[in-house]
């Protein structure tokens, strides 16, 4: 009887919520908006909630006794991870061989978010600093490249390190005053910083073009060879005697972002095994203990912020060169939120998890584009399901950075998520 | 022996509450100095002042090493790094999600990474990092042997039993090469056998073991068995003031000390055991 009452209660709540949200629809009438009632849609939604809840409760009761423990699941997942990572990499490298233009474009988009996720993972996953304004560094990188390229006529490969450096500088400038704050306070200040950067970009019309943005940003070249659709002297197609085609540029862009993402991955994996990365993780575990061991907490946090920001800046520069047009609209808070969701869903500190989460979230969102209005619903539902089933993210836990014997996986239940 | 740490007129106020009141004492080199007193006497507060977690309201904390350090004016991380004062915490503060070995490696952070530039060079395998890392692992191994945790080196610190966590926290502090080790109730929650092992470990640390230089110890402890057995010198606090100071024998016969502990009512620890 109890499950029935429980399900009835859930249905009642659903009725209260959906009664207005689904039950009433505004349509454009001949003179003004008209309100249309949709009782059947509400009934369907409420019934779905009722039976869904009932099924869930019964499943919980009758679930077989030998349900695997979370630790066992984590160990299995980490074993799968060992094969999944090389497979995923092989898939990513060979994609241009069999994928068409659409899929490659999607690949570029996913890889951009993978890279952003890996960059933010350094700050949030390793150092445990909750940064809600990561998009600020993405924007700094993008505008740095666009302005440097247009003002000084520099190429993509010259500007890329500069864009990263400038973003890192901004990371330090932001970090210096705010890193004394912890937890929620840090999150709110970084969020504000992201907005400030966007608003400055929007209003500093003489430099950034304001809401009109910057257009005609130069495309990347390969050792001076251009990728333009028309071919012509000095172009990639002309040099190799190929038929000029726009898809050559797409393939090139795809490999550029793949390389940048792999660089991010390599640097963060490497840093994790070094004293700096170890200090980040120690900071996430216990800041007070770090201080008692003589670790300069401020400098250590700043390095995490700066290195994370630098990768955000690289990704920004790539974004600018790919789009050839940027405007403040591309750097809203929702971008920070999506990247953070990728990191959290993937499992804090996990490289493979972040890549998988980016693939599912960005790739999934694109694939479901046809479903239009249901897209966000499916998206939200997926988030809730993952957080219920695996609250620590898809791939949680960590591998020790150093070991006397074999490196054994450490479950996430041992780890702290950081308070800074 | 020369005084290593001289505490002079240390006062720490929290709003209207004076947790430490014009306290003066000395910790001599090569000795174990115990700080005891009833709950809330201000012992942990004294430690927090010495290690830079609190800035004292007034008074001085002079460490006689090198050119001398005024600890009351130094930021916390420099006290550990330059003045070489290490500490443990009353509530264990290990890096629970990192392995036992990693805990000891983090403690050697400043040796492994003298500055950020060196830390970043190491990404590309430059700056002689591999050699430093090997030396750090060797030192960690030495301490793992000393605390009997070599077999558990690759387990997460949070999975160790309580007594082992206490020992690991001491070893981690020792990996910073301190001249003064401040221990806040290291025997709390240990069984009698573990307390005995702890006493031996602390004696070894004082006199120097396995080729390591000796290290003076400042010890807060409620377990009077341990205190009386290993201390060279005891300072007794009550309500932030020093009420007695001397050898274990002198202190345990001091009527003021007995009164302070009896005044608490339920203290069965001190005098009975101490006078035995
Ligand atoms: N940060 C603080 N803010 C306000 N009061 C504090 C603070 N830290 C300590 N106190 C107060 O100072 C007094 C001394 O506390 P302290 O922790 O030093 O005692 P203790 O001798 O270590 O006691 P115990 O044996 O229980 O550990 C207590 O009354 C405590 O409430
Ligand atoms: Mg205390």
Q: What is the pLDDT of residue B272?
A: 46
Region at A147 (left for phi over 0; alpha for psi -120 to 50; beta for the rest): alpha
Q: In the numeric block, which tokens belong to residue A268?
A: 């963060």
CB B172 within 8 A of CB B103: yes
Nearest residue to A167 (alpha-carbon basis) of A282, A287, A331: A331
- pLDDT for the residue numbered B109: 93
pLDDT in tens, chain A (420 residues): 778 888 889 889 988 888 888 888 888 878 888 888 888 888 988 999 999 988 888 887 776 555 555 556 656 666 776 788 888 888 888 888 887 888 888 999 999 999 999 999 999 989 988 889 999 999 999 999 999 998 888 888 888 999 999 999 999 988 888 877 777 888 888 899 899 999 999 999 888 888 888 888 887 777 766 766 666 666 666 666 666 677 778 888 899 999 999 999 999 999 999 999 999 999 999 999 999 999 999 999 999 999 999 999 999 999 999 988 999 998 988 889 889 988 888 887 788 889 988 888 888 777 777 766 776 677 677 778 777 777 777 677 788 888 887 777 777 777 777 665
- For residue B160, tell me if it sits in a domain: yes
How much distance in Å is there from the Cα of A291 to the middle of ligand 1?
20
Query: Can you tell me the distance from the alpha carbon of B157 to that of B141, in angstroms, rounded to the nearest whole number?
Result: 15
Ligand 1 binding pocket includes B38 (Cβ within 6 Å): no
Q: pLDDT value at position B211?
A: 67
Tell me the pLDDT band of B273, cut-offs 50, 70 and 90.
very low
Whether residue B22 has pLDDT greater than 80: yes
> Are residue B53 and residue B75 in the same domain, yes or no?
yes
Handedness of CA B197, B198, B203, B208 (dihedral sign): positive
Single out the residue in B135, B150, B176 at which a domain terminates.
B176
Tens-place pLDDT, residues B32-81: 999 999 888 999 999 999 999 999 999 999 998 878 888 888 898 999 99
Q: How far is the CA of B14 from the centre of ligand 1 (A)?
A: 9
Domain shared by B190 and B275, yes or no: yes
Is B53 domain-assigned?
yes
Q: Which residue has the higher pLDDT, B227 or A370?
A: B227
Residue B198 has a CB neighbour count (10 Å cut-off) of: 23
Same domain, B38 and B158: no
Interface of B with A in 202-261 (CB under 8 A): none
Residues A167-194 as b or e (16 or more Cβ within 10 Å = b): bbbbbeebbeebbeeeeeebbebbbebb
Nearest CA to ligand 1 atom 22: B44
Write down the pLDDT at residue A317. Answer: 94
Q: Do B215 and B194 share a domain, yes or no?
A: yes
pLDDT tens-digit series, residues A287-335:
999 999 999 999 999 999 999 999 999 999 999 999 889 999 989 888 8
Query: At B48, which CATH number?
Result: 3.40.50.300
At residue A68, the pLDDT reads 53
- B272 and B192 in a common domain: yes
A-facing residues of B in 44-83 (CB < 8 A) are 51-53, 76-81
Chain A touched by B27 (CB under 8 Å) = no
Give the closest residue (by CA) to ligand 1 atom 10: B19
pLDDT of A286: 92
Nearest ligand 1 atom to the CA of B14 is: 4
Domain with B155 in it: 96-176
The mean per-residue pLDDT over the stretch B188-195 comes to 90
Q: Is residue B89 part of a domain?
A: no
Based on its alpha-carbon atoms, the radius of gyration of chain A, rounded to whole angstroms, reads 24
B58-63 sheet: strands from edge to edge: B17-28, B3-14, B58-63, B69-70
Q: Taking CB atoms and an 8 Å cutoff, what residues of chain B touch A310?
A: none
Structure tokens at B57: 């309201």
Q: What angle do CA A254, A258, A261 make, to 5 degrees?
A: 140
Instruction: Give the model's pLDDT for residue B266.
Output: 47
Which ligand 1 atom sits closest to the C-alpha of B240?
A: 14
> Which pLDDT score, from 0 to 100, does residue B268 have?
47
Q: In chain A, what is the straight-line distance between the N-terminal and C-terminal CA atoms, in Å?
A: 46
**pLDDT tens digits, residue range B228-244?**
999 999 999 999 999 98
B256 and B270 together in one domain: yes
* CA A136 – CA A178 distance, rounded (Å): 15
Does any CB of chain B come closer than 8 Å to the CB of residue A10?
no
Give pLDDT, residue B267.
Answer: 46
Domain boundary among B127, B155, B176: B176
How confident is the model at residue A70, as a pLDDT? 55
Number of other residues whose CB lies within 10 A of the CB of residue A64: 5
Confidence of residue B276 (pLDDT cuts 50, 70, 90): very low
In a domain, B90, yes or no: no
Q: Do A403 and B101 touch (CB under 8 A)?
A: yes
DSSP of chain B, one letter per residue? --EEEEEEEEEEEETTEEEEEEEEEEEETT-EEEEE-STTSSHHHHHHHHTTSS--SEEEEEE-STT-EEGGGS-HHHHHHTS-EEE--SS----TTSBHHHHHHHHTHHHH-SSHHHHHHGGGT-SSHHHHHHHHHHHHHHHHHHHT-GGGTTSBGGGS-HHHHHHHHHHHHHTT--SEEEEESTTTT--HHHHHHHHHHHHHHHH--TTPPP-EEEEE-S-HHHHHHH-SEEEEEETTEEEEEE-HHHHHT-HHHHHHHHHTSS--SHHHHHH-
- Out of B14, B218, B243, mutate this one to test ligand 1's pocket (max ligand atoms within 8 Å of CB): namely B14
Pairing of the two strands B216-220 and B180-184? parallel
Same domain assignment for residues B140 and B69: no
Count of domains observed in chain B: 2
How many secondary structure helices (H) and strands (E) does chain A include? 17, 4
The finding on whether B87 has its CB within 6 A of some atom of ligand 1 is no
What per-residue confidence (pLDDT) applies to A63?
Answer: 64
Does residue B182 share a domain with residue B170? no
Q: Is residue B121 part of a domain?
A: yes
pLDDT at B210: 66
B261, B186: one domain: yes
pLDDT at B44: 94
Q: Are residues B233 and B140 in the same domain?
A: no
Query: How far apart are alpha carbons A74 and A84 in whole angstroms?
Result: 14
**DSSP 8-state symbol, B185:** S
B11 and B73 assigned to the same domain = yes
Of the three residues B146, B176, B206, the one that is the final residue of a domain is B176
Do A397 and A107 touch, CB atoms closer than 8 A?
no
Q: Please tell me if the CB atom of residue B17 comes closer than 6 angstroms to any atom of ligand 1.
A: yes
Is the C-alpha dihedral spanning A91, A92, A97, A98 positive or negative? positive
Complex ipTM value: 0.89
B208 lies in the same domain as B72: yes
DSSP class of residue B99 equals B
């Amino acid at each position: 009887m109890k499950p029935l009452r429980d399900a009835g209660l859930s249905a009642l709540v659903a009725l209260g919520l959906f009664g207005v949200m689904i039950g009433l629809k505004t349509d454009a009438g001949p003179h003004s908006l008209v309100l249309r009632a949709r009782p059947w849609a509400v009934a369907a939604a409420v019934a779905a909630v009722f039976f869904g809840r009932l099924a869930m409760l019964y499943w919980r009761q009758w679930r077989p006794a030998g349900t695997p423990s979370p630790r066992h699941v984590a160990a299995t997942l980490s074993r799968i991870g060992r094969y999944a990572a090389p497979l995923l990499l092989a898939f990513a490298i060979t994609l241009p061989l069999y994928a068409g233009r659409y899929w490659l474009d999607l690949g570029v988009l996913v890889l951009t978010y993978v890279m952003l996720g890996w960059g933010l993972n350094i700050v949030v996953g390793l150092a445990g600093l909750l940064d809600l304004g990561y998009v600020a560094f993405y924007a700094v990188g993008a505008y740095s490249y666009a302005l440097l390229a247009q003002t000084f006529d520099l190429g993509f490969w010259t500007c890329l390190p500069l864009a990263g450096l400038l973003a890192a500088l901004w990371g330090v400038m932001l970090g210096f005053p705010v890193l004394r704050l912890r937890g929620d306070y840090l999150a709110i200040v970084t969020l504000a910083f992201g907005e400030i950067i966007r608003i400055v970009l929007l209003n500093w019309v003489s430099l950034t073009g304001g809401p009109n943005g910057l257009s005609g940003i130069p495309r990347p070249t390969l050792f001076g060879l251009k990728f333009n659709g028309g071919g012509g002297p000095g172009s990639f197609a002309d040099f190799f005697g190929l038929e000029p085609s726009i898809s050559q540029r797409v393939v090139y862009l795809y490999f550029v972002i793949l390389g940048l993402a792999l660089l991010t991955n390599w640097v963060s994996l490497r840093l994790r095994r070094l004293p700096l990365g170890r200090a980040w993780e120690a900071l996430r575990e216990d800041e007070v203990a770090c201080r008692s061991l003589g670790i300069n907490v401020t400098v250590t946090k700043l390095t995490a912020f700066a290195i994370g920001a630098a990768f955000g800046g690289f990704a920004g520069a790539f974004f600018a060169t790919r789009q050839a047009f940027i405007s403040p609209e591309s750097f809203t808070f929702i971008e920070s939120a999506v990247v953070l969701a990728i990191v959290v869903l993937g499992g804090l500190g996990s490289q493979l998890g972040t890549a998988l989460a980016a693939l599912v979230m960005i790739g999934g969102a694109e694939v479901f584009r046809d479903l239009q209005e249901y897209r966000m619903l499916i998206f939200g539902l997926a988030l809730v399901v993952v957080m219920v089933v695996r609250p620590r993210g898809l791939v949680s836990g960590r591998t020790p950075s150093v070991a006397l014997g074999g490196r054994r996986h450490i479950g996430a239940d041992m780890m702290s998520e950081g308070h800074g | 022996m020369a005084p290593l740490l001289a505490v002079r007129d240390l006062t720490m106020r929290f709003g209207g509450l004076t947790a430490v009141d014009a306290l003066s004492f000395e910790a001599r080199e090569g000795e174990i100095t115990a700080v005891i007193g009833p709950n809330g006497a201000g012992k942990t507060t004294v430690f927090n002042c010495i290690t830079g977690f609190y800035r004292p309201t007034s008074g001085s904390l002079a460490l006689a090493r090198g050119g001398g350090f005024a600890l009351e004016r130094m930021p916390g991380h420099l006290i550990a790094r330059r003045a070489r004062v290490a500490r443990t915490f009353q509530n264990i503060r290990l890096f629970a999600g990192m392995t036992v070995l990693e805990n000891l490696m983090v403690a050697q952070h400043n040796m492994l990474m003298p500055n950020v530039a060196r830390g970043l060079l190491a990404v590309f395998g430059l700056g002689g990092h591999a050699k430093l890392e090997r030396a750090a692992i060797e030192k960690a191994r030495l301490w793992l042997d000393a605390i009997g945790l070599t077999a558990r080196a690759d387990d997460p610190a949070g999975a160790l039993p309580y007594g082992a966590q206490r020992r690991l926290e001491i070893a981690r502090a020792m990996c910073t090469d301190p001249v003064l080790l401040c221990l806040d109730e290291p025997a709390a929650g240990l069984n009698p056998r573990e307390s005995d092992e702890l006493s031996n470990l602390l004696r070894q640390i004082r006199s120097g073991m396995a080729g390591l230089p000796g290290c003076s110890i400042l010890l807060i402890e409620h377990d009077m068995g341990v205190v009386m057995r290993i201390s060279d010198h005891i300072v007794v606090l009550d309500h932030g003031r020093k009420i007695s100071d001397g050898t274990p024998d002198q202190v345990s016969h001091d009527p003021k000390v007995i009164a302070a502990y009896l005044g608490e009512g339920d203290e069965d620890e001190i005098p009975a055991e101490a006078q035995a």
